[in-house]
A = this chain, B = another copy of it.
């Protein structure tokens, strides 16, 4: 049973933007994700919608149309999506429906179509920005196959933390360094573990630079301090989803993380994809929460909701592509190094929200939450280099003979995500891209 379907999911629907009707477009009229963009003609940051290979300028559209309620029209004049998200899922649902009408190939789309040259910008001419002013970024650890694979490298006899099946484990991340790709990710400097216990740690560029394949989601209105969001209301607070790369410096992490968790090993950069796929667009692709094996505990009451268990998961096929400097110099295309699926998460996004707020912690509009690395059960679905190279011990060999244990300067990592289901138009997430830049050694030199 698929709930919450309406005419916006009708697979027969087509847009007058022809590229949106290609079967392999990430952005058909059934998707309509929102983002923040600028272009050379207008460097002001503004809200847009992806349609095919174009971006619809929602600032202009909302000023020219009577169809948006005033709070929505005001929110669409902002340079970030926080104000729109603060209006809540119902307002966003209405907005997506109106935009769908405007982009329809039928007569309702005529007004936008007539002014297409002014309102639609080719995507390749756009610069994209972080969709919200991220006030708070939290990263979870909800991928059990990742937790088990990462744990096996550290504590093979007991790979999963004792609290793992009770608590959606999470930690606060760094909001200021959230960025949108394609963009440079500078290799961080830092302290690396001493060669032996008691020895001096070394200092320099990270030697074990990694990615982590995650999804991110954005918060709607949120809650007041001291007022938990009940599990059965939690999904109403999730506006939409994107791809998220939790870049990780494994050597720095190993040395710094006990007892208070990862800090500088993560805070140098987190990349998100430009587009926020609205939760409503994902309705056909909801799936049951990961089935808990016999013997696993039932979640505590505050984390358990029948509807969430039945349909709180997401079926998103995820891919990771790698392109090296050498590959690009010979015009080789990026190669797929792994695939996974968001359905492998042990905890649903709604459970993360309920847990995050059970202590009264207040979530705010536009807050970003990462799911944690989404590995799958098979070895082809291990979603960080740490996992699939066994902490660098078993490097992968690329088609051109290059080997990789961890990321090298110039390596570009691209995440892609796509939802497909019989009887529905496929939709996608676009891409989350970051390229490793060499470390800035000037400070190391200045100190010598």
Q: Which of A28-36, A71-79, A264-272, A381-389 contacts B (4 or more CB under 8 A)?
A: A264-272
B256 adjacent to A257 (CB under 8 Å): no
Query: Per a CB cutoff under 8 Å, which of B170, B191, B268, B362 touches A361?
Result: B268
- Nearest CB of B to A122, in Å: 28
CA A297 – CA B194 in complex, angstroms?
Answer: 13
Contacts of A257 in B (CB 8 A): 259-261
B172 adjacent to A173 (CB under 8 Å): yes
Q: Contacts A177-B225, A297-B200 hold; do A260 and B258 have CB atoms under 8 A apart?
A: no
- Nearest CB of B to A196, in Å: 11
B362 adjacent to A189 (CB under 8 Å): no
- A331 within 8 A of partner (CB): no
- A190 within 8 A of partner (CB): yes
- A245 within 8 A of partner (CB): no
Contacts of A363 in B (CB 8 A): 176
A440 adjacent to B360 (CB under 8 Å): yes
Q: Contacts A172-B267, A197-B162, A267-B359 hold; do A228 and B189 have CB atoms under 8 A apart?
A: yes
- A2 within 8 A of partner (CB): no
B447 adjacent to A188 (CB under 8 Å): no
- Nearest CB of B to A391, in Å: 16
- A11 within 8 A of partner (CB): no
User: In chain B, what residue has the closest Cβ to A361?
Assistant: B267
CA A228 – CA B268 in complex, angstroms?
Answer: 10
A361 adjacent to B260 (CB under 8 Å): no
Residue of A262, A263, A264 with highest tally of chain B CB at under 10 A: A263
Interface string of A156-172 (1 = CB under 8 A from B): 00000111001101111
Q: How many chain A residues have a CB neighbour from B under 8 Å?
A: 73
- Which residues in window 230-253 of A have CB below 8 A to B? 230-231, 249, 252
- A321 within 8 A of partner (CB): no
- A21 within 8 A of partner (CB): no
Contacts of A167 in B (CB 8 A): 191, 255-256
Main secondary structure of the interface of A (DSSP, over half): loop
Q: Contacts A176-B362, A176-B363 hold; do A259 and B261 have CB atoms under 8 A apart?
A: yes
- A106 within 8 A of partner (CB): no
- Nearest CB of B to A223, in Å: 10
CA A190 – CA B167 in complex, angstroms?
Answer: 10
- A136 within 8 A of partner (CB): yes
- A175 within 8 A of partner (CB): yes
Query: Per a CB cutoff under 8 Å, which of B141, B184, B231, B364 touches A176?
Result: B364
B171 adjacent to A261 (CB under 8 Å): yes
A359 adjacent to B172 (CB under 8 Å): no
- A201 within 8 A of partner (CB): yes
Contacts of A446 in B (CB 8 A): 230
Residue of A161, A228, A258, A267 with highest tally of chain B CB at under 10 A: A267
User: In chain B, what residue has the closest Cβ to A183?
Assistant: B225
A359 adjacent to B176 (CB under 8 Å): no
- A355 within 8 A of partner (CB): yes
B135 adjacent to A175 (CB under 8 Å): yes
- Which residues in window 341-363 of A have CB below 8 A to B? 355-356, 358-363
A225 adjacent to B179 (CB under 8 Å): yes
Binding site for B on A (CB under 8 A): 135-136, 141, 161-163, 166-167, 169-177, 179, 184, 186, 188-191, 197-198, 200-201, 203, 225-228, 230-231, 249, 252, 255-265, 267-269, 297, 300-302, 304, 355-356, 358-364, 367, 437, 440, 443-444, 446-448
